[in-house]
Every structure is written in structure tokens, then in C-alpha cells.
Structure 1
Amino acid sequence: MKKLIIAFLISGTIAACGGEEKKPAEEKKEEKKDALAVENQKGLELIGASDCTTCHRINEKNIGPAYIDVAAKYEATQANIDTLVNKVINGGQGVWGTVAMTPHPTISKEDATEMVKYILSLKK
């Protein structure tokens, strides 16, 4: 009986220690990603409340490029954010083909910035 209990305790200890332990760098990366998702939630809400989804989808091309494709093309630098904010507000053409992006002059610069930051946060 003692041998059975000892074997059970040893196997329980091995099972408890057998899981992979997260490294501090991995934990920080996940925390940063979670914080970024919360921070950019406003951008997602603004996109949902606008007409953006008429032409854009997150994961697939529609009339305009998928948001993940935009995120892959542009680094999240202030210069790129400013460029994309101007495209949201003023429209644009030629970067993703011949179909013009409709201008959205009623979207404030602050809201457009939140939307662009959300889109760029989708970079893998």
C-alpha cells in the first residue's frame, strides 16, 4: 500500500511539474498584446460604427484591402499613422489598385487615429 501511495505521489509531482513554464519575456509579450488590444478597442468600436466595413474586412479583401494586409504593409510609426489618417479623412487611390477610397471628412482626426492604430495592431 505504501508503495502505491509513493508511486501516486511521485507521478502527481511529475505531472504537476511537467507543464511548460512561461518565460518572463513571453509573459511580458502576452501582457503587452493584451494591453494593446484593450487600448485599441475604441478604434474597433469606431470602425464598427462607421461605414468602413462596407469596403473592408479584417481578414479578407473586399472592395478595399483587408485590415491585416494594411497592417502587414505599414509599420506602426507616427509618420505612417499620420499618412493613413489622412487617407481615411481625405480618401486616396493607387496604393491598392484602381478603386478609390471614399473620403470621410466627418471623421475627426482623433477618431481616425484610433481606427488606424487598431488596424495596425493587427500586424502578426
Structure 2
Amino acid sequence: MKITKPLNLALLAVAGLTFACGGGEKSTETTAETAAPAAAPAQEVSLEDKYKDNPIYIKGIEKVKGSDCTSCHMVDRKIVGPSYAEVAAKYESTEENITMLAQKVIAGGVGVWGEVPMPAHPGLSEEDAKDMVAYVLLLKK
């Protein structure tokens, strides 16, 4: 029987996987005298914890979650439209930008972020759109 070829391939795959997962890593012993002190891992604070008392965050996230925004946008990752973080990086959080972007949300548009159009949201009030945009711009890294 010709089982040797598939068996060799399987063994090679297992060896490669083991090495990729750290199985081929050489280890060295360290003593308390030679070991460098480990840096404490940075504690990442969630957005909810960071902005839990911020009224802009609270109003904005409530309105965004109640809308269809999350169909095309995420906080840190592009789906159809840009991520909220990309928008926040592009625009300063000024009253002029909040008003301009709120109008874009209401009217819709195309071209700023590519050729995929953002649909109009004519049923959205200007106040709600401004609250949502202010929330997005708050997410600047």
C-alpha cells in the first residue's frame, strides 16, 4: 500500500504546527538575580468605563444603537463605511464639524470615503444627528 506519502505529509504538518505554536522554541532558565523585572501590562480601559459619566457619550451611543448606523459602521473596524475611529481621526471635534457632519448624515452622500454612498437619513432630526456625530468624534484615539 502507498500510505507512506500521506503519512509523511501528516507528520510534516503536525511538526510544522507544533513549531509554529512554540514547540520549536528554545527555553533558557533565568534566576531571580538575572531575570529583568517584568513590565506591568497596560490596563486597557473600555470605552464604557472611560466615558461612563460623559453626557455626550451616553446620549450619542444610545442614539447610534437605536439607529441603522451599525449596519455600515463599527467603532474600530471598517465594514461598508469608515469606522468611527477613522472619522474621529479625520475631523476635529468642533461645532462647525459636528454641524457639517450631521448634515451629511441627514442628506447622505458619496465620495469622501470612497464610491459607496451613505444613504440619506431624512427622518433623523438635526439634534439627534449632532448627538450621534459628537459621540463619534469623541472616539478619537
Unmatched segments (≥5 aa) in structure 2: 1-49
Normalised to the residue count of structure 1, the TM-score between the two structures is 0.70
Letter in 2 for 1:116: V
Question: In the alignment, which of 74, 81, 102 is matched to residue 119 of structure 2?
Answer: 102
Letter in 2 for 1:122: L
Q: How does 1:1-80 map to 2 (within 5 A)?
A: 34=51, 37-80=54-97
Deviation at 1:83, TM superposition (A): 1.0
Q: Distance in 2 between matches of 1:36 and 1:84?
A: 24
Query: Which is higher, the Rg of structure 1 or of structure 2?
Result: 2
Aligned to 2:44: none
Q: Which string of whole-angstrom CA distances, capped at 9 and with x for unpartnered residues, describes residues 29-61 of structure 1?
A: xxxx64773432111010000000000011100
Q: Distance in 2 between matches of 1:36 and 1:119?
A: 16
**What is the alpha-carbon root mean square deviation over aligned residues?**
1.5
Question: In the alignment, which of 89, 100, 104 is matched to residue 87 of structure 1?
Answer: 104
Unmatched segments (≥5 aa) in structure 1: 1-32
Identity %: 52
Q: Distance in 2 between matches of 1:46 and 1:97?
A: 25
Letter in 2 for 1:96: W
Which of 89-98 and 34-43 deviates more? 34-43
Residue 45 to residue 34, structure 1, CA distance change in 2 (3 Å): closer
Q: Which string of whole-angstrom CA distances, capped at 9 and with x for unpartnered residues, describes residues 61-119 of structure 1?
A: 00000000000000011111111001110001100000000000001000000000000
| Count of residue correspondences | 92
Normalised to the residue count of structure 2, the TM-score between the two structures is 0.62
Q: Distance in 1 between matches of 2:108 and 2:51?
A: 31
Q: Is the 8 Å Cα contact of residues 43 and 114 (structure 1) preserved in structure 2?
A: yes
